[in-house]
Amino acid sequence: MPDELFFDDPADLKRARDAVFAGTLDRIFDHHPHYRKVFAERGIERSDIRGIDDLAKLPITGKADYVGQPADFSLSLPASFDAEERVVWDVMYTTGSTGDPTPFTSTSYDFLNILAVNRNMLRLRGVTAEDTILNLFPLTRHPHGAFARAMNAAAAYNIPIIAAMPGAPSARHPGLGNRTDDVCALAARSGATILWGVPSYMRKMLGRAEELGLSMPSVRLVFVTGEGFGEEARQDLVDRLKRLGAADPKISVSYGATEMQGGMVECVPGAGYHNPAPLQFCFEAVDPETHALVADGEEGLILLTHLDRRGTTMLRYALGDTARLTRAKCPHCGALTERLVSVPTRRDGFVKIRGMLVNPQALADVLAADSGIADFQAIVDKEDENDQFSMDRLRIRLSSSGEAIHVLGLRVAEKVKATTGVMPVVELAAADDAAFTGRGWKAKPIVDLRKKPE
Ligand SMILES: [Zn+2]
């Protein structure tokens, strides 16, 4: 079997994909609670779906289907199947429709696949055996792919990784987690060649390192996830690293999703986001309204199909973005796999704040449910309004029903953090505040004041 990323002939790749997908389809038709119901309603039989070319016969799956009944998306395999396929290895969480994040379950079988996905991501990004990674993702209340999978990626590639643990994950363990100055010092003495994290935090950290007179000459690669990351932002990070002594730093952007437990990555800047595991994932682009397939290179709603999963398993799942998709061999690295050749645009109304996907309605619901709040408005902007690359900031402006504002503020901050994963700034609104008088903003649960990248 050739390397899954570098098949020469598309027909050979398709045959290999169909072979692995057949095993998953057999299990879905017999043991997937959600799809068994959908297929029964629509009269779809196993023999109708011979491989990925028949995917278009299936309805698309929306986020609402999944977050409404997440347990129904895990295969419920009987004991006759190998334990590897049934044992839950870990559960990660993604943004839900209510205050509760939605579980994404992986079995031992899936975890090995996740290691392979993350190994492929590092290969595509040009990581070598000499590299060392600095993991700059914070710990989150609900397990989230970013922190954990960076650690797993290094394991799969047999290279060293240092977790910087920015932030203060728990008041019970004041020794866990690091302030920005300590993260800077760690980054400087670690000798890391790769920085991996949320771009706005990375930028803040590098700015502080410069102020502290530190240097990071060994850094050669920076891994960031999308988060509205444009060309200007890329150049800004490069310039900062050069001032810290890095000779020729490259920024590698990925388009990540909980449903992949990894991300689609660039092999070189601007080459598009590669599906890192064509034998595990199949991507399609469809018209957002009619759901008909669009031609290669045309903007469409991006769908993900799991070709080889046993825990949470999805067919034609709409990730919530539109982008242009191509199946052409990458002219830079030669990989034969799907690539997104435009920056994905969110279509589901969710917003990304500091790398966390936030459901505006869930945030509005949790605020509306607090009887201490008379009125509120959530706003996303930047810590420095004159600097479009500075850290995202979530502000909750509210008026109190009578409760002391410091008591209310602490409680609201905790609730918002638990719901969204983002710690907000809580502000008391002035009585004549336009946001509170029904003019303009109020119709939206979250007002996003951030400038969109070019
Ligand atoms: Zn490539």
Q: Which two tokens stand for residue 12?
A: 């050979």
Cα separation of 307 and 13, whole Å? 13
pTM of the model: 0.84
User: Confidence band (pLDDT; 50, 70, 90) for 263?
Assistant: very high
Please, which residues bridge with residue 61 across strands?
317
Q: Pick the more confident residue, 321 or 430.
A: 321
Give the residue from 308, 347, 332, 297 showing the smallest Cα distance to 52: 308
**How remote is the CA of residue 269 from the centroid of ligand 1, in Å?**
9
State in Å: Cα 266 to ligand 1 middle. 6
CB 327 within 8 A of CB 314: no
Q: How confident is the model at residue 444 (pLDDT cuts 50, 70, 90)?
A: low
pLDDT value of position 98: 59
CA 397, distance to chain mean position in Å, is 28
Specify burial of residue 35 (Cβ count, 10 A radius: 0-12, 13-18, 19+). Answer: buried
CA of 221 relative to ligand 1 center, distance in Å: 16
Residue 439 has pLDDT above 50, yes or no: no
- CATH class, domain 356-448, is alpha beta
Transcribe 82-117 into DSSP letters: -HHHHSEEEEEEE--SSSSPEEEEEEHHHHHHHHHH
Q: What is the pLDDT of residues 289-326, one digit of tens each?
A: 999 999 999 999 999 999 999 999 999 999 989 999 99
270 versus 244: the higher-pLDDT residue is 244
Backbone torsions φ then ψ of 210, nearest 5 degrees? -65, -45
Specify whether the CB–CB gap between 310 and 265 falls below 8 A. Answer: no
Separation of 274 CA from ligand 1 center, angstroms?
7
Say how many Å lie between the CA of residue 224 and the centre of ligand 1. Answer: 17
The domain spans of the chain are 356-448
Can you give the pLDDT at residue 403?
Answer: 85
The pLDDT of residue 454: 44
- The predicted model gives 137-153 an average pLDDT of 91
Provide the pLDDT for residue 156. 98
∠ Cα 116 118 124 (to 5°): 100
Residue 422 or residue 318, greater confidence: 318
